[in-house]
Amino acid sequence: MEWFTADMWSALLAIIVIDLVLAGDNAIVIGMAARNLPKEQQKKAVIWGTVGAVVIRAAATLAVVWLLKIPGLLLAGGAFLVWIAIKLLIDDKGHDNVKAGTTLAAAIRTIVIADAVMGIDNILAVAGAAHGDFILVVIGLAISVPIMVWGSTLILKLLEKFPATLYIGAGVLALTAGKMMVGENFVKAWIGTGFLKWTIVVLVVVGVMSAGYAIKKSRANKAVDGSRNGSEPSKAS
């Protein structure tokens, strides 16, 4: 990818948005893993745990960038990213099951393992948005570090105060997914690079947003109906 072009800036913007939406959730896990440590050790746990997590994530992201060059995996990765985007919209994430470490080593281990497990969506999304450019991957990781260390509270408040932020993030994920799928060589050979390509990308984005909204609304209606039924007094026979 050429530098200082529209493609480069759009890819970098996509990576930043992906990090803001996905890495912020990992930052909460980091804070929770270190919550039982003495104050003087909490900062060390966060810093060293984040360093370990970033090293693993860097290696994994570069590996995914390479793997996405294998025929068929770009299409599969895009389809998986569609599921991640919908899941981002409909899931109420809880972190109560995150085990807090009682020693510095235990907290660091928890942070690294939790980030490795939870960071799969971030790794795939960043690798897809970077279009195989290793420099953009490194920049994306550099952006995610301060977000993971210092941004947890900010991101959480932002998502709570402005729910539309979640839809923006899901939209960027869906856009990345659509571009990954139409970027697969055998798909590209069939649909070309013109109108049909961008029609499919737009349909993927609209489909993700519509599906997420519909599922969320259906769940809310069921919850309301269940609450009403539970509060209705039983009729005497």
* Cα–Cα dist 101/124, whole Å: 28
CA–CA separation, 175 vs 186, rounded Å? Answer: 19
d(CA 26, CA 21): 10
Per-residue pLDDT tens for 14-66?
887 777 677 666 666 666 677 777 877 877 887 787 778 778 877 888 888 88
Threshold 0.85, pTM exceeds? no
Q: Using N-to-C axis directions, what is the helix angle for 134-150 and 24-33, rounded to 10°?
A: 50
Return the domain boundaries, the chain.
Answer: 6-218
> For the chain, which ranges sit under pLDDT 70?
1-4, 20, 23-32, 91-102, 114-115, 117-118, 144-160, 230-237
- Count, in order, helices (H) and strands (E) of the chain: 11, 0
Contact (CB, 8 A) for 30 and 148: yes
